Amino acid sequence: MTVSNKQAGFSLFELVLGIVLLGILMAGSLAMLINLAPKTVDPAMEVRAAQLAQRLLNDISLQKYDHNNSHLACGTTNAELCTLPENYGPDVAELALADFNDVDDYDTTAICAASFKPSSCNNDWIAACWFTEQCDDNSNAYSGFMVNIAVKPHVFDTQADSAKQIEIAVRQPSGNVWQYAVLRGNYP
């Protein structure tokens, strides 16, 4: 019987080569993951922008079409005339969001021109927290989000005062702007 002194295993060279190759593969994987990290935040911010717009559209759509609506649609026979587009915005006695009673009160251009102008007005953009909660600190759900709301008359088949188009633009902290719109029909 012959006994062999040869042992099985990896040589020092093979071990070092394996560690170097593993390090190169891990560095490449890490670089790929680092590039993906900022992109995973975008979908979450898009969802928050959509949720904010939906919340605002729901709140606005629940308001009356016009403050002149009583038991009849404004502008119809035996009813008061509807507010003219150049007069859209908060009425004289409406000094805060809680006082708003019709859809055109939410027009941010008019809000930023009003006497109670929110401190966050910036070229007709208002901090989202003004519409949703107190803006006292940066812990609010929509910190850094800005909102621009435009209310415009919408005419169906040449019938004036038939609807108002509410357009909401939501600007994310990254600067991306998302546009949303809804029509509010003329009924009390």
- What would the pLDDT profile of 153-182 be if each residue is shown by its tens digit? 887 766 667 889 999 999 998 888 999 999
Of the ranges 38-42, 77-81, 175-179, the best mean pLDDT one:
175-179
Residue 39 pLDDT? 61
Span 114-119, mean pLDDT? 84
Residue matched to tokens 């901090």: 127
Question: Is there a domain that residue 6 lies in?
Answer: no
Please name the amino acid found at residue 82: C
pLDDT at 185 over 80: yes
Question: Is there a domain that residue 154 lies in?
Answer: yes
Kindly report the backbone phi and psi dihedral angles of residue 75, in degrees, each rounded to the nearest multiple of 5, phi listed first: 80, -5
Residue 157 pLDDT? 67
Provide the domain limits for residue 123. 43-185
pLDDT at 13 over 70: yes
pLDDT at 186 over 60: yes
Please name the amino acid found at residue 153: P
Question: Is there a domain that residue 22 lies in?
Answer: no
Question: Is there a domain that residue 9 lies in?
Answer: no
Structure tokens given for 153 = 């008359």
Q: Tell me how many domains the chain contains.
A: 1
Question: Is there a domain that residue 162 lies in?
Answer: yes
CA distance 74 to 68: 6
Residue 44 pLDDT? 80
Question: Is there a domain that residue 28 lies in?
Answer: no
Residue 77 pLDDT? 78
Question: Is there a domain that residue 167 lies in?
Answer: yes
Residue 67 pLDDT? 84
Structure tokens given for 63 = 């308001």
User: Closest by alpha carbon to 105, among 51, 59, 154?
Assistant: 59
CB half-sphere exposure, 98, CA atoms < 13 A: 2
Q: What is the DSSP letter of 1?
A: -
pTM of the model: 0.75
- Name the residue with higher pLDDT: 76 or 5: 76
As separate numbers, helices (DSSP H) first and strands (DSSP E) second, the chain gives 3, 4
Question: Is there a domain that residue 8 lies in?
Answer: no
pLDDT at 142 over 80: yes
Give Cβ neighbours of residue 135 (< 8 Å, ≥ 6 apart). 120, 127, 129
